[in-house]
Structure 1
Amino acid sequence: MESWQPTRETIDQVRDAVLLAGRLEHLRVHQTARTEFFSIIAFALGGTLDGVDAFVSQDPDDTSGEHRVYWLRGNSFGSLALKAHNGPEGANEPAEVSGYVRSLHEIAHVEIVGATAEWPFSGGFPTVHPDVKIHFDNGDAVTISATARSHDGARKQVAMFVEKLLEAVARR
């Protein structure tokens, strides 16, 4: 296998999608580690966001000590996480990234655990912002929430991901 190197355009595209949910400063990682994270995401996605069916970035207010992204691509459900930096402030250490790619067939069910409806001022019908819990056959579960997001772009990213997830699960 040959080595792979992303383009600046690809890194910018991935960075914008990841940061749509919010900044990553709470992780205290150096800028180079963030760029490494974006590059690893691009590699895992097959080179670009254009090749995936849906992508969502975790709400950065999470206190888990990591920032996680999820994507759907064909019959797969993937995730990568960037771990928080625990060393001296400003230290330029490599990104600690881990994750997985699973078959959509491993999803036992998707539970709708909440939703909010946002009515437009001009009339019409509400926009739905869902919260779901994805249950896997082995007992693992992942929760993805739109209601906790602070701005419309991040809520739309979650809603689109959930819509594509439900379509993919229904097709299998």
Structure 2
Amino acid sequence: MGAAGADFFAAEPLLVARLQSIAAAGVKVLTAPDLAGTAENAQHTPAYQVIFGGYRVVDDNAQGALPLIEQRWFIVTAVRNAASQISGAAGRQNANALMDAALHALLGWKPSNDLSRLQLGTGGSPTFRKGGYAYYPLMFTTRLKLKGESITARGIS
């Protein structure tokens, strides 16, 4: 439980379970704080990386009610293919089926009663690393109404 009484990161294990249910044999589903610190020699490929991408307040009722927030979750498809590193074509071909499966599994999916249906957001550019590693991000948003005692109910104004 978070400070406000809501399970702020409830979406993460639900996203992991959903991706595990559709992952082809040999595809790992991992979580990470970010990809910047992931060493390629320790990187599992192919894999989905589930990464919390922050949040924004959608409705912050000024009367002390707890806010409605929109969370961003990145699903990064990590692949490795040393062939055609200059063009990246082989890596894109490897990532294509994984990204397609993730899109079909997550787009419009409602992870729980506390979370809204997932919507596709702007995912950002792919990242390429030495040795044929490539990371293709998809970004999904979901909304969560924080729960708990409001500021007004605690006598704080």
TM-score with structure 1 setting the length: 0.28
Q: Which structure has the larger Rg over C-alpha atoms?
A: 2
Higher relative CO (Cα under 8 Å, sequence separation at least 6) belongs to: 2
TM-score with structure 2 setting the length: 0.30
